[in-house]
Structure 1
Amino acid sequence: MSLRVTFVAAARSSSLLAERFQDDRPLDQAGWDEVQSVAHGLLPLAAAELRYCSPTPRSRATGDALGYAPLVQLALRDCDMGRWQGLTLGEAMAREPDAVDAWLADPRATPHGGESLLGFIGRVGGWLDTRPVDDGDRIVAVAEPSVIRAALVYVLKAPPSTYWNIDVRPLSATTVTGRAGRWHLRFDAGSGQRSRA
């Protein structure tokens, strides 16, 4: 049986604040407004047999606001950034420029004391590969953009450096189909149309 897994990127916490590693800020009013403005296009995904989310407050709130009532999945948490948690890339670079350079250049590096990029991609891919096929063929997962980027690198069997070249916008939907070890990226018709697998 082939699964259809649609990842929905969590709404942003605020467009005015810099992107931070392991950002655990809840949705602010701007985030709620964004969810409401695109909800009509994402509401049909609530019909999925299985509905999951990352453990971050904004992923849970996005899923709830869309009517998914998602189950939290720890495997869909953001990359563990160790002592860089809560920092922006610029702040980490100002404090530890050589360590940031090493981390960006080597997907196995953990200069922050947390998780490597390779480990992060493998963890998210492992979650994808262990989705139950007997519980239904349609799954929706609300996750941080970084988690979706990791999933796409895994699905495409791309080099880990590809992670840095994928842009996942808040509240975008990305679908993969297949089963463990055999995943495909799927592009559907326009945003108002959803084809069924």
Structure 2
Amino acid sequence: MKPVQLTLICHGQTEAQRVGRFALDDDPLRELPAPMAGLSTGAHCLSAPELRALQTAQGLGLQATVDERLRDCDSGRWQGLALKQLQHDDLAGLQAWFADPQSAPHGGESVAALCSRVAHWLDSGLAAGEWLVITHPFVIRAAMLHALAAPLDAFQRIDVQPLAQVRLSHSTQWRLQLPS
């Protein structure tokens, strides 16, 4: 049986990432990325629906199909707010969100709900072959946790930089692939 080869690519940098605030759906990239060497031209390509993911696909020269299941975590009423502001205005909520994956003090999606959504997507049966997916740091973190069967509290211990690539493969189970 031919395996699934999945490369998750984080969208390019936004101003929200640079200044440490929760993103808005229509946050643009600071600049379009250049095409990356080594990306398979014959791969199936999917993108999260937000502008920053679509612009990344465009800059990389990829024709991506939007998959709503790859959308960023819903940060509810924290959308657009800086972490520094939340440390002042909602410190207890921010601390709860960092400490408890089930917590959603912002009224949006909890880390646990995001991880469940991403795990379901991964296990929904991507066709065998190569896949490129343009998505968000939180979605990539969730995919890594699922592939490694790691506990949810490990979510806050992973940093995913703009344009980072994470490779997963699946034949009988998900595996994280480190570059050689």
TM-score in terms of structure 2 length: 0.90
**1:101 corresponds to 2:101:** no
Give the structure 2 partner of residue 10 of structure 1: 11
- Structure 1 residue ranges (4+ consecutive) displaced by more than 3 angstroms after TM superposition: 14-17
**1:45 corresponds to 2:36:** no
8 A Cα contact 2:148 2:176, kept in partner: yes
Match of 1:27 among 26, 29, 32: 29
Query: Aligned with 1:115: secondary structure?
Result: coil
How many Å separate the matches in 1 of 2:42 and 2:60?
11
The structure whose residues are more often helix, as a share, is: 1
**1:188 corresponds to 2:179:** yes
How many Å separate the matches in 2 of 1:184 and 1:158?
12
- Aligned pairs for 1:60-75 within 5 A: 60-75=54-69
8 A Cα contact 1:22 1:80, kept in partner: no
Letter in 2 for 1:174: V
Q: Deviation of residue 149 (structure 1)?
A: 1.1
Distance 1:179 1:20, change over 3 A: farther
Q: Deviation of residue 132 (structure 1)?
A: 2.9
Letter in 1 for 2:174: W
How many Å separate the matches in 2 of 1:131 and 1:19?
35
- Cα deviation per residue 1:38-91 (whole Å; 9 max; x = unaligned)? x2425x33320x210111111101112212111111111111111111112222
How many Å separate the matches in 2 of 1:132 and 1:143?
16
Calculate percent identity across the aligned residue pairs.
33
Equivalent pairs, count: 178
Aligned CA-pair RMSD: 1.9
- Cα deviation per residue 1:79-123 (whole Å; 9 max; x = unaligned)? 111111111222222111111111111111111111111010111
Letter in 1 for 2:123: D
In the alignment, structure 2 segments of 5+ residues that lack a partner are none
**1:86 corresponds to 2:87:** no
- Aligned pairs for 1:54-65 within 5 A: 54-65=48-59
How many Å separate the matches in 1 of 2:57 and 2:137?
14
Q: Deviation of residue 15 (structure 1)?
A: 8.4
How many Å separate the matches in 1 of 2:61 and 2:174?
27
How many Å separate the matches in 1 of 2:126 and 2:139?
20
